[in-house]
Amino acid sequence: MGKAEFLTPKAIANRIKAKGLQKLRWYCQMCQKQCRDENGFKCHCMSESHQRQLLLASENPRQFMDYFSQEFKNDFLELLRRRFGTKRVHNNIVYNEYISNREHVHMNATQWETLTDFTKWVGREGYCKVDETPKGWYMQYIDRDPETIRRQEELEKKKKQDLDDEERSAKFIEDQVRRGREGREEVSEATLFPPTPLVAGIKSVHGFSVNVSSLAPNALQAAVSAKRKESGHSSESKGKKKKSALDEIIEMEEQKKKKSTRTDHWLQPNIVVKVITKRLGEKYHKKKGIIQEVLDKYTAMVKLIDSGDKLKLDQSHLETVIPAPGKHVLVLNGTYRETTAILDSINEKSFSAKLILDSGHLKGKTVDGIAYEDFSKLA
CATH number of domain containing 298:
2.30.30.30
Q: Are 182 and 300 within one domain? A: no
Q: Is the pTM of this model over 0.85?
A: no
Q: Is 47 contained in some domain?
A: yes
Listed residues 115, 141, 167: the one ending a domain: 141
The model's confidence at residue 203, banded by pLDDT at 50, 70 and 90, is very low
Q: Is 267 contained in some domain?
A: no
Q: Are 81 and 28 within one domain? A: yes
- In 3-state terms, what secondary structure has residue 340? strand
Q: Are 196 and 86 within one domain? A: no
Question: Long-range contacts of range 224-233, CB-CB < 8 Å, 24 or more positions apart?
Answer: 231/190, 231/191, 232/191
Q: Are 135 and 155 within one domain? A: no
Q: Is 245 contained in some domain?
A: yes
The model's pLDDT over 78-114, given as tens digits with 9 standing for 90+, comes to: 989 888 888 899 999 998 888 877 677 878 778 888 9
Listed residues 118, 141, 164: the one ending a domain: 141
Q: Is 232 contained in some domain?
A: yes
- The beta-strand segments (E) located in the chain are 27-28, 33-34, 88-90, 128-133, 136-141, 202-205, 208-211, 272-275, 288-294, 299-304, 310-314, 318-320, 328-331, 340-347, 352-357, 366-371, 375-377
Average pLDDT for 35-54: 77
**Total domains present in the chain:** 3
| More confidently predicted of 276 and 101 | 276
Q: CA dist 235 to 225, 344, 345, Å?
A: 16, 50, 51
Provide the residue range defining the domain that includes 45: 9-141
The model's pLDDT over 309-364, given as tens digits with 9 standing for 90+, comes to: 888 898 989 999 999 999 999 999 888 888 999 999 998 888 899 999 998 888 88
The model's confidence at residue 23, banded by pLDDT at 50, 70 and 90, is low
Residue-wise DSSP of 143-206:
---HHHHHHHHHHHHHHHHHHHHHHHHHHHHHHHHHHHHHHHHHHHHHH-------BTTEEEET
Q: Is 177 contained in some domain?
A: yes
Q: Are 288 and 360 within one domain? A: yes
Q: Are 105 and 218 within one domain? A: no
Q: Is 66 contained in some domain?
A: yes
Listed residues 259, 294, 321: the one ending a domain: 259
Q: Are 129 and 154 within one domain? A: no
